Amino acid sequence: MASHIEMEMNSCLTEMEKLQAKIMELQKEKELMEQQKQKRLEKQKEEKKTNEVEPNLGVMEKWLDTYYENEEQKKLAKVAMDNWRDMNRRRSDPYYANT
């Protein structure tokens, strides 16, 4: 009777070892699947960043508007400065002395 119980215990222990090994394999597979899922998500994020152009176009449009506005201001300032110099050349007194 004792040997029968020992045999049952040994078979249960071997089954437990097999189950533990299977659990370890399943955990490794789960980790691999999670890593693959993370890689796919990162790849999708990168593709989304490169494919979504509209926000970038908005930034570029704002920058271009500001740039051209600055260029127009520079041109107007140059014209005003040239006019001021012309007025000073025509008169003997500086322009600001007469104003």
Q: Do 20 and 1 sit in the same domain of this protein? A: yes
| pLDDT computed for residue 43 by the predictor | 92
Q: How big is the chain, counted in residues?
A: 99
Q: Residue 50 pLDDT more than 90? A: no
Q: Do 47 and 62 sit in the same domain of this protein? A: no
Residue-averaged pLDDT of the chain:
85
Q: Residue 72 pLDDT more than 70? A: yes
* Domain carrying residue 68: 53-99
Spatial separation of the C-alpha atoms in residues 24 and 35, rounded to whole Å: 17
| pLDDT computed for residue 36 by the predictor | 97
- Tokens 């920058």: give the residue: 63
Q: How many domains does the chain have?
A: 2
Q: Do 2 and 28 sit in the same domain of this protein? A: yes
Q: Do 41 and 85 sit in the same domain of this protein? A: no
